[in-house]
Amino acid sequence: MYKKGLILTILMLGSLAAMAEHSLGLQIGFAEPIYRLNSPLQSLSRTRLDATPMDGLKVGVVYDASLIKGFGFSMGLNYTFAYHKTKWKDYEYASDGTSAILPFYEYKTEYYYHQGEIFVDWQYKFEIAKKTYIILYTGPTIQCLFDLKATDDHRYTGPAAASGQISDFKPSEESYLRTGKDGHVQRLNVTWGIGAGFQYKRYFLRGGYDFGLINPYGKQAFSDFGYTDETRYDGNRLTRGRLDQWQIKLGVYLWQSDK
């Protein structure tokens, strides 16, 4: 019974694929990954875990199939690179769940972000003129974070700096974000996106927002910042958050089936 159902499903999908209109192309655009952190501890909301949104570049390949009167799907592979550099700001440190400023010390941070993506979007194309469409789409994306690094640069701005007598707190660099099982953030993430677009002949423009469905933070992210007190630390409570992403893409279909 199950085998017959599977064979029937494959035959139906094959028939739909044979009737479908196919397109294969390239896309390039802008992306802004955003790590969001929700915590009952006020001090956590001001840590470097809640990173500033990173501006980035997204490139990829896309395959479209229109099945029945504009309804179909779009799927493909993307690579996203993002970067952000903050301005010099006061150095804050955490102590017993509170935050304090260290006088005459400043830091700035550089973020580097590399990620691969597999996306599948169900879409509907409204034909508003000949070969001109308005597109609505929604669907999941599986993300694999190749590398995420945040590097701090410190400096001392007090009276000793003018005389050349720098204290023990010298300008330095420190990488504190790592990926992996025991790292600060998880490698894998799943999002659900919604968006809209416009297509004219072989050219298209799409923009949307992806909502993170998986908590990206690991326990190491909190223990490295001193949140190890068992009376306050709860992995399910303090590490909840998500990785979202804005994106807008411009593309061209290099090949299209006969219509």
In this structure, is residue 16 part of a structural domain?
Answer: no
pTM score of the predicted model: 0.74
Is 216 contained in some domain? Answer: yes
Residue 10 lies in a domain: no
Q: How many CB atoms lie within 10 A of CB 117?
A: 21
Q: Which helix (H) or strand (E) holds 219?
A: helix 219-223
Alpha carbon of residue 134 to chain centroid: 26
Number of independent structural domains in the chain: 1
Residue 3 belongs to some domain of the structure: no
| CATH number of the CATH domain containing 27 | 2.40.160.20
* Beta bridge partner(s), residue 98: 95
In a domain, 2, yes or no: no
pLDDT single digits (tens) 155-208: 777 765 554 444 444 444 444 455 555 566 778 899 999 999 999 999 999 999
User: In this structure, is residue 48 part of a structural domain?
Assistant: yes
**Residue 67 near residue 20 (C-beta atoms within 8 A):** yes
Query: How does pLDDT run across 32-41, given as a tens digit for each residue?
Result: 988 777 665 5
- Domain-located, residue 4: no
Amino acid (one-letter) located at 176: Y
In a domain, 123, yes or no: yes
**The domain containing residue 79 runs over which residues?**
22-256
CA dihedral 231→232→237→243, nearest 10 degrees, is -140
Phi, psi of 220 (to 5 degrees): -60, -30
